Amino acid sequence: MTSAAERGKTKYQINLRRYLRECDVDRDLTRVICEIANASKYIINAIRTGDLGVAGTSNLYGEQQLALDVLADRIIQKRLMYSGVVANLASEELPDIIEVTHPSNKRYSIAFDPLDGSSLVDVNLAVGTIVSIFESDNLLQPGRNQVAALYVLYGPRTTMVVSTGKGVHEFAMNQLMEFDLVQENITMEGGAKVYAPGGTRAKYSPGTEKFARHLETNGAKLRYSGGFVPDINQVLIKRGGVFMYPHLSDAPQGKLRVLFELNPMAFLIEQAGGAASTGRGRMLDVEPQGIDDRSPIFIGSKEEIARLEQFIAEES
């Protein structure tokens, strides 16, 4: 596919919908992605002006839902419900999968985290929306079957990183609140410029601890914000690094959720030439048993993830 520059256009002249059309992305899939893009405009407004008070309800993990979580969830649900192409929805903020009852060709099912890292908003750090898309009515299947994944990062700039299986591309929201292409076919390079070690270091297994020390002694800079979306975005945009939220002595499954966080990010990083592992195997091969499944995650530069798996294997 010719790049924006080769097409004789400045890369800022191609918006999301046009780019997806020029990449021959299915019209219904384009609709899902553009609905999320539209939802992000309202979520930005909620973040900038919304009530940070607690909504008084809690999600299936028992975590207090901030008003923003609930609001972002409602915004995205509504747009996908009326899109006409969605069969089932699963939100990290809701306990069950929702069947779409409005008129729909029921082609796609979506798992999403409407506002990942929402607890960071009240300390003014970046947060994001994460979306996983299957062309199926079944959301409980391995992540390797996703047809697309994306995240929206609400930082100093609002950006969207998306893949439909034809590489990974970044868009930035312009003054008209449209997403314009910034860079296409983002590809991970070797090595680890940055690393994001989640969880409590003292609870790392010997193999994980050995890996963290390896990264540090090889010059990787610690970059951890506590937000999965900005932390992964930094690994991707810098073309090299590792994010990990490992198995811990008191949390053998780690913290992050398979359907809402790990499958979409693993899809994106693999599409960019990186790798995503549970520590003992490919993340995208995990067979989810339920929507609230969690997994340890090591994700980023391929050769670093291979090294991690070796350190974990040596443990046992």
The contacts of residue 25 (CB under 8 Å, 6+ apart) are: 33, 164, 166
CB of 151 to ligand AFP, least distance (A): 11
Look up tokens 């609140």; give the residue.
177
Pick between residue 100 and residue 269 the one whose CB is nearest to ligand AFP. 269
CB of 256 to ligand AFP, least distance (A): 6
CB of 198 to ligand AFP, least distance (A): 5
Pick between residue 153 and residue 173 the one whose CB is nearest to ligand AFP. 153
Q: Which residues bind ligand AFP (CB under 6 A)?
A: 63, 116-119, 198-199, 226-228, 245, 255-256
Task: Annotate the chain with three-state secondary structure.
Answer: CCCCCCCCCCHHHCEHHHHHHHCCCCHHHHHHHHHHHHHHHHHHHHHHHCCCCEEEEECCCCCEEEHHHHHHHHHHHHHHHCCCCEEEEEECCCCCCEECCCCCCCCEEEEEEEEECHHHHHHCCCEEEEEEEECCCCCCCCHHHCCEEEEEEECCCEEEEEECCCCCEEEEECCCCCEEEEECCCCCCCCCCEEEECCCHHHECHHHHHHHHHHHHCCCEECCCCCHHHHHHHHHHCCCEEEEECCECCECCCCCEHHHHHHHHHHHHHHCCCEEECCCCEHHHCCCCCCCCECCEEEECHHHHHHHHHHHHHHC
Pick between residue 80 and residue 121 the one whose CB is nearest to ligand AFP. 121
Pick between residue 20 and residue 283 the one whose CB is nearest to ligand AFP. 283
Pick between residue 95 and residue 190 the one whose CB is nearest to ligand AFP. 95
CB of 102 to ligand AFP, least distance (A): 28
What distance in Å separates the CA atoms of residue 102 and residue 78, rounded to the nearest whole number? 11
Pick between residue 140 and residue 229 the one whose CB is nearest to ligand AFP. 229
CB of 51 to ligand AFP, least distance (A): 17
Closest CA to 36 of 107, 100, 102, 114: 114
Pick between residue 99 and residue 122 the one whose CB is nearest to ligand AFP. 122
Provide the angle, in degrees to the nearest 10, between the axes of the packed helices 27-49 and 67-81: 160
CB of 10 to ligand AFP, least distance (A): 34
CB of 35 to ligand AFP, least distance (A): 22
Residue nearest to ligand AFP (CB): 228
CB of 66 to ligand AFP, least distance (A): 9
Pick between residue 47 and residue 181 the one whose CB is nearest to ligand AFP. 47
